[in-house]
Amino acid sequence: MQRRCMMKCVVYKVVCETCQKFYIGETARPLHCRIDEHIRASRSPQNYPENPFSRHRTHHHARDPPPRLQVSVLYKNVIDPEEGKRSS
């Protein structure tokens, strides 16, 4: 069984444990790569102004430490967007 963090081509949900707001995203890369980007953006929002997690931190938790994030996979083995581009 493939470990969740190594899964590719997934739709995932990230919940802010502080306020329960959530984000749904998709990635063709290993999930841990994308989640690491979100964590870096949450910790240093000034360096990632376009990332949804940096905007969330800036708007909702500017004076708080970085919120804890809970990740779950909603769908796996979705079509790789890069493969779809090549075949169309």
H or E stretch covering 87: helix 81-87
Q: pLDDT tens-digit profile of 6-57?
A: 788 999 999 999 999 999 999 999 999 999 998 998 899 889 889 888 898 8
Residue range(s) defining the domain that contains residue 13: 4-87
Assign residue 38 the CATH number of its domain. Answer: 3.40.1440
Token pair listed for 5: 């963090």
At 40, give phi and psi (nearest 5°).
-60, -40
Residue 29 pLDDT: 92
Which two structure tokens, joined as six digits, stand for 6?
């190594």
HSE value, Cβ hemisphere, 13 Å, CA-based, for 28: 7
The total number of structural domains that make up the chain: 1
